[in-house]
Amino acid sequence: MLLDPRWFIVVGAAALAYGSLSPVVAARRLQFLAASLPHGALLATVLGIPLSSATGLPPSLCALTVGIPLTYMVIILVRRGVPEETATSVFVSFTASASIAVIYLVLTRYPSETSLWSYIIGDPLLVTWRDTAYAAAVSAVVVAMTLPFMREHVLLGLDRDSARLTGLRASLYDYMAYTALALAAIGLIRVVGFVLEHVLILLPAAVAINFSKSGAETVYNSVASAVAAGTAGVLLAVVLGQNPSAMVGFLLLAFYLTGLVRGGTG
């Protein structure tokens, strides 16, 4: 059996990014955003295709340029007092409809440009070295924006008032968390696929919380479970001839169920 190191690099990088992001989402209770973001990421990605051919810039750059401000839209709505569910519904309805419209356009106008399927179901086994370097860079930025600031995010999530009194610039950390989320969702969509993205954002921390007795352990276990599921998922996918994202998803689910059966912490 031939194994390509690039598969492990891209999946490992994605796992590191999602494993670090996941405790931030759990601590800051950003699940509403995490669940709706993949829709925005898909829209940004498919929009990147025509934008790239119009501007000559790389599609990934176009996608990030469109997608990150698009994500801030949800936050601006929530900040203005729109309930999270409403803001999420508006965002999902808009981005889902718009991405289908753009996909239709892309399929009819730019037929051979790229495989849209890989954005939907994830395609880490078809990456080039260029894709690998891009995924690794995205992951490095996401990790750098999350792991070193975990303590700040946890304190802000517990009670924002006390955190602000300790001198934390709350909105700075808000934008950092949202940007990291958008970056991971858009930048790694090709690796993990739109369908599985929100599972990868939510499950590592959910797994970790069941297995951990402290904040430090939770963060460690989140990253560890994501990386373990990622690496084993690629191997399983090769052995079974299946899609790696599906395998990673099943493995994380298995970890989560194991944690539940063990009866939570302890």
Partner 1 sequence: MTGEIELREVEVKLQEEVIIPRVSLKLEGPGLVTVIGPNGSGKTTLLRTIMGLIKPVHGWVLVNGEDVTGNPEAAGKHIGYVPQLSAFNKGFPITARELVESSLSLRLKPLRLRTPSEIREAAIRALGAVGALDYADKPISSLSGGQLQRVLIARALVWDPPILLLDEPVSAIDPAGKMEMVELIAKLSREKLVLVASHDPGIYARDSKLIVVVNRGIRLAGPPSEVLDPRKLAEVYGDSVMLVEKCVHLVDGHAA
Radius of gyration of the chain (CA): 18
In whole angstroms, the minimum distance from the beta carbon of 141 to partner 1 comes to 23
Q: How far is the CB of 139 from partner 1 (least distance, A)?
A: 23
Do residues 249 and 199 touch, judged by C-beta distance below 8 A?
yes
Provide the minimum distance between the beta carbon of 151 and partner 1 in the complex, in angstroms, as a whole number. 5
Point out which span in 12-20, 149-157, 176-184, 237-245 binds partner 1 (CB under 8 A). Answer: 149-157
| C-beta of residue 244 within 8 angstroms of C-beta of residue 233 | yes
Interface region with partner 1, contact rule CB under 8 A, candidates 19-27, 86-94, 97-105, 232-240: 19-27
Asked if 166 is part of the footprint of partner 1 (rule: CB under 8 A), the reply reads yes
80 binds partner 1 (CB under 8 A): no
Residues 75 and 215: their CA atoms lie apart, in Å, by 26
- Closer residue to partner 1, CB minimum distance, 125 or 164: 164
Stretch that binds partner 1, among 93-101, 103-111, 147-155, 250-258 (CB under 8 A): 147-155
Nearest to 228 by CA among 265, 258, 263: 258
Q: Which two tokens stand for residue 175?
A: 């934008």
Q: How far is CA 36 from CA 22, 33, 43, 127, in A?
A: 15, 5, 12, 26
Residue 214 binds partner 1, judged by CB under 8 A: yes
Per-residue CA distances from 235 to 7, 13, 58, 220, 230 (Å): 10, 16, 31, 23, 9
Within 13 Å of residue 197, how many CA atoms lie on the same side as its CB? 30
Q: Which three-class secondary structure state does DSSP give residue 128?
A: coil
Options 161, 241, 261, 263; binder of partner 1; rule CB under 8 A: 161
Report if residue 154 touches partner 1, rule: CB under 8 A: yes
CB of residue 123 vs partner 1: minimum separation in angstroms? Answer: 34
- The nearest distance, CB 76 to partner 1, in angstroms, is 18
Residue ranges in contact with partner 1 by CB under 8 A: 23, 26-27, 29, 151-152, 154-155, 157-159, 161-162, 164-169, 209, 212-216, 218, 265
